[in-house]
Amino acid sequence: MRRYKLSITTDAGGAATAYSPRIAGKIHSIQYVKTDFANGVGFTVTAEATGESIWSEAAVNASAVRYPRAPTHTQAGAAALYAAGGVAVQDKIGLASDRVKVVIASGGATKTGTIHILVD
């Protein structure tokens, strides 16, 4: 497992964009450690090269840990489902020499927080 740590500071409008170093592997978790971002901060976390969504959540008030997963598909392109229940089969999101892009909204003027990205 590898950990990538991003210390992020918002601008006067409460926004920020930060990038991880290049990552190769499957994302295990995204951990937000609140320092003083305002309550209600929004996160949009994507793969830089493709824009694939990793985590998107608004109105976060406290430190949080997320284990993002993506739905899988059959060779025919249909959603892979567990039995007849229709629940999607999900797997970790893989990156190959790509950066994780973290966009902060409504974080408060010149406030800070930290994102940890754990990769298998």
Confidence of residue 5 (pLDDT cuts 50, 70, 90): very high
Burial class (CB in 10 A: 0-12, 13-18, 19+), 37: buried
Task: Decide: 1 and 28 in contact? Cβ < 8 Å.
Answer: yes
Q: What is the pLDDT of residue 37?
A: 97
**Which domains, and CATH codes, for the chain?**
2-69+92-119 (2.60.120.380)
Average pLDDT value for residue range 32-43: 97
pTM of the model: 0.93
pLDDT tens digits for range 79-119? 999 876 788 999 999 999 999 999 999 999 999 999 999 99
